Structure 1
Amino acid sequence: MENFSAESIPDLSGINAVVTGANSGLGLETAMVLAAKGARVDLACRDLTRGAAAQDRIRSQTGNDDVRLRRLDLGSLESVHRFAAGQDLPVDLLINNAGVMATPHRTTSDGFELQFGVNHLGHFALTGLLLPALRQAPAARVVTVSSLAHRGGRIDFEDLAAQRRYRPWSRYNQSKLANLLFTFELQRRLEAHGERLLAVAAHPGFANTNLTSGMNHPATLDILGSFFRLLGQSGAAGALPTLYAATAPEVLGGEFYGPGGPGQLRGRPVRVTPAPQASDPATARRLWDVSTELTGVRFAGLD
């Protein structure tokens, strides 16, 4: 792990990967490396124009033509169902990467607060609906991308729709905490039922990507831009914890990976410790039950 890089990843021929938000940022970097190592990669993107540009770029740079563009809008349960219904191959790697950050108060097409709906509920539903395809693979992994921001998160079960109060960063923190609670609860259920599938989490530290594009606060964007340029690492470096979680043979279910440098802001991937609230089984079970109720998606055999 100490010297892990993209070059450390073995040949991935025969591996089928699905990467959400693969048209830019960390998702594009992750998909690029997986394709370069021979994996068959589905780019799960909301914006098909940008997705097509990413597809062309990946094919051109890697020489791997087995890269497919598929539409997925995590803010629409209808879109998530349609995507899962069109999955025609086993899924060895599901990379739950897509996300939005600190957006103005908006809702998804199903009425969920946008950040919670896209970052957590969309990926919860996608994972549950792809469970049959994941079980068809001999040693599948679900890697969900969280953030250092989870440390400031708490799940506001009494106001998940943010009808009483909306603070963009608090809601982002909540969604990133939800990513970890979901991962750890999924792994507990997989282990309890003797499943081979692994659920793992990762975070990129501070990486220079376009995640802030959904914000509409110019002053905040200027400050963040300077901060990321000063302390951030490249998108390629930020994708390494995700790639490690997805491919390293020593990875175990329920683990969390991030950069090993000071403050976990940058550096090679290492196993990291989540904030205490991410490891609370009671909160995780409650979130699981609420997510099931909101999305209508059940994880067959794991209830």
Structure 2
Amino acid sequence: MFSSDGWAADSVPDQSGQTVIVTGANSGLGFEATKVLAGKGAHVVLACRSVERGEDARDSIREEFPAASLSVRELDLASLASIRSFAETFTDEYDSLDILCNNAGVMAIPRQETEDGFEMQFGVNHLGHFALTGLLLDTLESTSGQARVVTHSSGAHERGRIDFDDLHSEDSYAKWGAYGQSKLANLLFAYELDRRLNDAGSNVLSTACHPGYADTNLQRRGPEQSGSRLRLAGMKLANFVLAQSAEAGALPLLYAATDESIEGGEYVGPGGFVNMRGTPEIQQSNERSRDEETAERLWTVSEEQTGVKYNL
């Protein structure tokens, strides 16, 4: 197994001339990745549900990197209409896309539905990014060099199963089960996309990553939305004791997005204590994530539910 000993934010190669989209760029891992990429010379589009929070993030990054090339665009992954609007606006404005970071997500929240009636975690984490990637595929393929799609998963994929009989948890909902399903779907999508790109002779590379256990707002939203002060206090304590920083948690995403050694279909995560912290390395996800029959079925269902067909 290859380990990138000592690989850090400074290891990111020069990104001048690169155009990058980071979903959920206004906070947490997306913010940290955006800061590094912009600091290395990339033009980064901050794709955020809240334009105001995106602009605050942009301004914060420019305090450290005054010359950073950044733009903020509204993207609500819980709305197929918003995803289509974002993609149309982007493709009208840009003729290339070097890196698409499918980063945004929600975790272990009380059951909610997206604008289109999808269970929120499956809808945002998987279906939203599936639709976004498909709508941007032509732009990715028209980019000179090798464009990349990096999809953020989680170690929680190991507890996930794709329940095709109840994808949106209408019959039964368990917040962690739904999260695990969405993170498993992220990997099934990333690997299936890479296989289809290879079969089509495309210049686009699809890979995946996970951040380990990183201290971000993601862990707090579930307890906050459920109104559990005890769970919120416990999560804050766990973050303080166990988690690595958001800056460190963003390294697998940055490594997968920029390192020249990365190949399609690889999975990057921190290589330290039980894969929760440490420098990024190539790892192995579980057998279910590599099940090609499940991946093909999920792909078909995802196209049907989003209405987005991939031109491969």
Aligned residue in 1 for 2:300: 289
Distance across 2 between alignment mates of 1:33 and 1:123: 22
Q: 2:6 aligns with which of 3, 6, 21?
A: 3
Mark the runs of 5 or more structure 1 residues left unpaired by the alignment.
Answer: none
Q: After superposition, what is the alpha-carbon deviation per residue over 1:32-86, rounded to whole angstroms, capped at 9, x for unaligned?
A: 0000000000000001121111010112211234200000000000000000001
Q: 1:161 aligns with which of 137, 157, 168?
A: 168
RMSD (Å) for aligned C-alpha atoms: 0.9
| Alpha-carbon offset, residue 2 of structure 1 | 1.5
Count of aligned positions: 301
Q: Secondary structure at the match of 1:159?
A: coil
Contact 1:58 1:64 in 2 (8 A): no
Q: Secondary structure at the match of 1:3?
A: coil
Task: Output the TM-score relative to the length of structure 2.
Answer: 0.95
| Alpha-carbon offset, residue 275 of structure 1 | 1.1
The residue correspondences of 1:177-216 to structure 2 (distance < 5 A) are 177-215=184-222, 216=226
Contact 2:209 2:252 in 1 (8 A): yes
Distance across 2 between alignment mates of 1:179 and 1:43: 21
Distance across 2 between alignment mates of 1:165 and 1:64: 50
Distance across 2 between alignment mates of 1:255 and 1:64: 33
Aligned residue in 1 for 2:254: 243
Q: 1:148 aligns with which of 155, 163, 180?
A: 155
Task: Output the TM-score relative to the length of structure 1.
Answer: 0.98
| Alpha-carbon offset, residue 220 of structure 1 | 2.1
Contact 2:220 2:236 in 1 (8 A): no
Aligned residue in 2 for 1:122: 128
The residue correspondences of 1:1-303 to structure 2 (distance < 5 A) are 1-87=4-90, 88-89=93-94, 90-138=96-144, 139-215=146-222, 216=226, 217-301=228-312
Mark the runs of 5 or more structure 2 residues left unpaired by the alignment.
Answer: none
Contact 2:151 2:209 in 1 (8 A): yes
Q: Secondary structure at the match of 1:86?
A: helix
Q: Which amino acid aligns with 1:128?
A: G
| Alpha-carbon offset, residue 11 of structure 1 | 1.0
| Alpha-carbon offset, residue 176 of structure 1 | 0.4
Q: Secondary structure at the match of 2:105?
A: coil
Contact 1:36 1:63 in 2 (8 A): no
Q: Secondary structure at the match of 1:170?
A: helix
| Alpha-carbon offset, residue 9 of structure 1 | 1.2
Q: Secondary structure at the match of 1:68?
A: strand
Q: After superposition, what is the alpha-carbon deviation per residue over 1:171-204, rounded to whole angstroms, capped at 9, x for unaligned?
A: 0010000000000000000111111100010100
Q: Which runs of 4+ in 1 moved over 6 A?
A: none
Q: Which amino acid aligns with 1:251?
A: I
Distance across 2 between alignment mates of 1:42 and 1:100: 20
Contact 2:23 2:48 in 1 (8 A): yes
Q: After superposition, what is the alpha-carbon deviation per residue over 1:139-181, rounded to whole angstroms, capped at 9, x for unaligned?
A: 1000000001000000011001211111100000100000000
Contact 2:41 2:68 in 1 (8 A): no
Q: Which amino acid aligns with 1:62?
A: F
Distance across 2 between alignment mates of 1:82 and 1:59: 27
Distance across 1 between alignment mates of 2:58 and 2:298: 35
Distance across 1 between alignment mates of 2:119 and 2:44: 30
Q: Secondary structure at the match of 2:230?
A: helix
